[in-house]
Copies of this chain bind each other. A is one copy, B any other.
Amino acid sequence: MQLPFLTFLTPPNWFPSLCKTLLLQAPTTQAESGSLVMAGVLLSLVIIYFASKVGGELSNSLGFPAVLGELVGGVIVGISALHLLVFPESGAESSNSIIITLLQSTAGLSPDSANATFSSMGEVISVLAELGAIVLLFEIGLESNLKELLAVGPQAAIVAIVGVVVPFAGGTVGLIYLFGVPAVPAIFGGAALTATSIGITSKVLSEIGRLTSKEGQIILGAAVIDDVLGIIVLAVVASLAKTGSVDVGNVLYPVISASVFLIGAILLGNVLNTSFVAIANQLKTRGGVIIPALIFAFVLSYIAAAIHLEAILGAFAAGLVFDETDKRKELDKQIVPIADMLVPIFFVTVGAKTDFGVLNPAVPSNREGLIMATFLIAVAIAGKVVTGLAVFGQPGINRLAIGVGMIPRGEVGLVFAGVGSASGVLSEATEAAIIMMVILTTFIAPPLLRLVFQEPAIAKPEKSDASISD
């Protein structure tokens, strides 16, 4: 749905010829098409960064996590609204792209090569977005800590497991029996409900001064375990989506390969750790820490992709491994600007590719998607709130706060939507419903958390720069 008031953004007829006159433009030659792809990529990145910063800052100033604003910013510049950032795979044509129009009027792109430039641009931005997801999961892996997981103990584990099983089962069964969705996309939809956003959760807890409470510790520990479980679920589901059907081999193979891969990577990583530190200490030129780390992360990502898991699973495993090394602090510091540069491309692109037109209630055929979104949101909230009831041996603990703390979905949920969209199994309505669910759970968690923690919030915000997700 292109909004009618945006037509003024289309340059008038005389604009191209004026530009040509002013700039003494030569006609496009074949040799130039490469540099026009580059020009298009630069414009796309400017739009992405602008959307992510305006969205992120507005969201932050309203008390919501920045990642939420980046996502909404992407929706606004994307296929649903401004058409500044559109992609061939979401059905857009080069004539729909305002960047292509701009390249034609200001940089001398010829109409003949518009389609090729449009599709190359889209491919490059999609790969950059995926690199953003890889760097994000690497960073989350770095922030996660295997030993901490063991220390927070059984309470966190039970909360995590209940919080994965209940929404997954509820979502999948509901989608199949209430909405008649086929098994694979239904499992995808259910799986997207599983992983709590560790970044968003820890950010919100620190903002209301509850990060170090007993409830806060359990929430954090469960969110970490949850993340790992969610990524294994993602691996299973994405593999199912790729082969298209559900049978025992299809279920067992990814479960086994995901487990073997993750455990193997961490065991091997713990052995290679020492070599890594030794090598990094020997390297005297620039990038002596970050480049070996990226090599390891990219190798694991490649292996994960090659054995039909997801590349991000490899990046997460690499992050977990490096978390244990002496070089971690240096790596932590160096990955931040790289993540700042690449991760927003991922969030904005996810938003931009989502066509909210399919949720427009004015169109009768869309109503099913809207009802589905409402159902997913209800399961997403209920499925996490019940986790508090599973906590044992902690009299007087605020069970409701624990459940509410698990509500926000984030990165991993969006990764599900992105993977589902890329593998083509999710209908547009289901994908939009998942993104709606992520946006809404992220929206409602901060005010709900303030509410259930009853006492006035102790304002002790940690430095935003130090948190993961925004």
Q: List residues of chain A with CB under 8 Å of any chain B CB.
A: 23-26, 29-32, 34-35, 37-39, 41-43, 45-46, 49-50, 52-53, 56-57, 60-61, 66, 89, 106-107, 120, 123-124, 126-127, 130-131, 242-243, 249, 253, 282-288, 290-292, 294-295, 298-299, 301-302, 305-308, 311, 334-341, 344, 422-424, 464-465, 467, 470
Bound together, the chains give a CA A218 to CA B89 distance in angstroms of 55
Bound together, the chains give a CA A53 to CA B130 distance in angstroms of 24
Which residues of chain B are within 8 angstroms of A43 by Cβ–Cβ distance? 298, 302
- Residue from B29, B39, B253 in contact with A305 in the complex, judged by beta carbons closer than 8 Å: B39
5 new A-B pairs (CB below 8 Å) besides A31-B422, A338-B338? A53-B283, A66-B286, A123-B123, A124-B127, A286-B464
Q: Assess whether B340 is in contact with A242, with CB atoms less than 8 Å apart.
A: no
In the complex with contacts A286-B465, A295-B46, A311-B35 CB distance below 8 A: yes
Bound together, the chains give a CA A25 to CA B306 distance in angstroms of 9
Which residues of chain B are within 8 angstroms of A249 by Cβ–Cβ distance? 24
Which residues of chain B are within 8 angstroms of A89 by Cβ–Cβ distance? 34
In the complex with contacts A285-B56, A308-B23, A422-B34, A337-B123 CB distance below 8 A: no
Bound together, the chains give a CA A35 to CA B239 distance in angstroms of 12
Q: Assess whether A39 is in contact with B285, with CB atoms less than 8 Å apart.
A: no
- Residue from B31, B46, B126, B242 in contact with A242 in the complex, judged by beta carbons closer than 8 Å: B31
Bound together, the chains give a CA A336 to CA B330 distance in angstroms of 13
Q: Assess whether A301 is in contact with B35, with CB atoms less than 8 Å apart.
A: no
Which residues of chain B are within 8 angstroms of A26 by Cβ–Cβ distance? 242-243, 308
Which residues of chain B are within 8 angstroms of A307 by Cβ–Cβ distance? 23
Q: Assess whether B60 is in contact with A284, with CB atoms less than 8 Å apart.
A: yes
Which residues of chain B are within 8 angstroms of A467 by Cβ–Cβ distance? 286
Number of copies: 2
Main secondary structure of the interface of A (DSSP, over half): helix
Bound together, the chains give a CA A465 to CA B287 distance in angstroms of 8
Name the residue among A126, A292, A306, A424 with the largest chain B CB count within 10 angstroms.
Answer: A306
Which residues of chain B are within 8 angstroms of A242 by Cβ–Cβ distance? 26, 29, 31-32
Q: Assess whether B52 is in contact with A291, with CB atoms less than 8 Å apart.
A: yes
Bound together, the chains give a CA A287 to CA B130 distance in angstroms of 19
Bound together, the chains give a CA A53 to CA B45 distance in angstroms of 28
Bound together, the chains give a CA A444 to CA B463 distance in angstroms of 49
Bound together, the chains give a CA A295 to CA B44 distance in angstroms of 11
A310 → B minimal CB distance (Å): 8
- Residue from B52, B120, B294 in contact with A123 in the complex, judged by beta carbons closer than 8 Å: B120
Which residues of chain B are within 8 angstroms of A285 by Cβ–Cβ distance? 53, 56-57, 60, 66, 464, 470
Which residues of chain B are within 8 angstroms of A61 by Cβ–Cβ distance? 284
A119 → B minimal CB distance (Å): 9
Q: Assess whether A340 is in contact with B295, with CB atoms less than 8 Å apart.
A: no
A424 → B minimal CB distance (Å): 4
Q: Assess whether B423 is in contact with A31, with CB atoms less than 8 Å apart.
A: yes
